[in-house]
Amino acid sequence: VFGIYDGGTYGAIERVTDHLPEPPPFQPRQRYWQIIAKRAVLASGAVERPLVFGGNDRPGVMLAGAVRSYVNRFGVLPGRRCVVVTTGDDGWRTVDDLVAAGAGVAAVIDARGDVRAKLREKSDKAGINVILGAHVTTTRGRNAVRGIDVTHSDGKTESIACDLVAMSNGWNPAIHLTTYLGGKPVWDRARAAFLPSSECRQDFPSQAQRAVNLDLPRRLPVAASWPAGCSQISSKALARW
C-alpha cells in the first residue's frame, strides 16, 4: 500500500512478475489495485537508522539489517572481515548471524557502556573482540572500506582492518500513512522515535484501539486499526512514498 485517499480508498501495487528471475511472456510486471475498506490495520514496519561518521557512505558500509538479509535470504556474505557497530540490542542479531554463517567478525563496537551477558554469548564463544562505550569516527579505504578508526570512552583511538561495516542505530516506525490521515508524528523520548499520534483516531475511539507496542529497536510496530471515513482526510493528501 502506497497511499490512503478519501472514503477509505487505499492504493496498492502488486508485484506480478517483477520478482521472478524469468518472468513468463505476456504478463505485466505490476498490477495496480484500488481497495475500499471500512476498517484497516496499518502494519507498515520500520526503517533502520544509520549511524553518522566519516565515510559512512563508502562501499562496504551497510545497515545491519541489510547484512542479515544478504546472509539469511540470499546466502551471501557481503564481507570476510566484518565489524558490527551498534547502539542497541538489534545489532547483536547481526553478530550472531555472521558467526553462524562462518564470517570473520573482527570486532563488535557498542556505544553503550554495558551489555547483557546473554547478547554476548556467541561472540564470547567465538573470541570476538568486544569494545564497549566506543564509537567509529571514520572509515578508511578508497574504492571500498579497508578499515575504521575507533575512539574509546577514555579518548584513545584504535584502527581496525575490515572489509565490511554493519551499523545498527535502532529503527524508525514507518508512519507515513498515518500522516496522510492528518495524524502529526509525536516524538517518544523513551523509544527515541516518532510514533503515530491519536489525532486521526480520536473521532472513533472504540474502533481505533491503539496497537502499538514497540520495543525499539527489537520489535516492529503494528500502528493502528481504524474505520474508513476519517474526517481529517482531504483530497490534497494524495499519498506517495
- Output the average pLDDT for the chain: 82
CA angle 226, 219, 104 (to 5 degrees): 150
157 grid coordinates = 583511538
pLDDT of residue 38: 84
Q: Provide the pLDDT confidence category of residue 73 given band limits of 50, 70 and 90.
A: very high
Burial 36-71 (b: 16+ CB within 10 A, else e): eeeebebebebebbebebebbebebbbbbbebbebb
pLDDT of residue 200: 57
Q: What is the pLDDT of residues 90-145, one digit of tens each?
A: 999 999 999 999 999 999 999 999 999 999 998 999 999 999 999 999 999 989 99
* Helical (H) or strand (E) element with 132: strand 129-132
Residue 221 has pLDDT above 70, yes or no: no
Residue 202 has pLDDT above 90, yes or no: no
Report how far residue 97's alpha carbon sits from residue 68's, in angstroms, rounded to the nearest whole number.
7
Residue 216 has pLDDT above 60, yes or no: no
Q: What share of the chain is helix, strand, coil (3-state, %, to 5)?
A: 15, 35, 50
CA-atom Rg of the chain in angstroms = 22
CB 145 within 8 A of CB 59: yes
Residues in the chain: 241
Residue 42 has pLDDT above 60, yes or no: yes
Could you tell me which residues come within 8 angstroms of residue 187 by beta carbon, excluding any fewer than 6 positions away?
Answer: 193, 194, 195
Q: Provide the pLDDT confidence category of residue 235 given band limits of 50, 70 and 90.
A: very low
pLDDT of residue 2: 87
154: number of Cβ within 10 Å: 7
pLDDT of residue 224: 33
128 grid coordinates = 570476538
22 grid coordinates = 524469468
